[in-house]
Amino acid sequence: MVEFAGLPEGFYWAAAVTIYELIAPLFILARRFVTLACLGHMGIVALGAVLVHYPDGWFVVGAGRNGMEYSVLLLVCLGATARAYAPRHAA
């Protein structure tokens, strides 16, 4: 078993996230599957905020590292974009 950053099979998880982050924006640019692409990105950003940024607090200081306020801003923007492109159902 390969371990990376304390996660089992972490290298493969990191590779999968990288591939997703390279392909999903193409769907957003093409305006196809925008809601799903944004929700996937929200999952990645939220996990990163909890595992990496949360222990360092709220504000980004110094060399632009640590703090989680930028992650929260990204989550809000991705959520708004996902909602704007969500399928509409007739009532």
Task: Give per-residue pLDDT as tens, 25-47.
Answer: 999 999 999 999 999 999 999 98
Which candidate, 18, 24, 23, 22, places its Cα nearest to that of 39?
A: 24
Domain ranges of the chain: 3-84
Q: pLDDT below 50 — which residues of the chain?
A: 1
For the record, the structure tokens of 39 come out as: 């929700």
Asked whether the beta carbons of 28 and 34 are under 8 A apart, the reply is yes
Q: Supply the pLDDT for residue 69.
A: 85
Q: Supply the pLDDT for residue 29.
A: 95
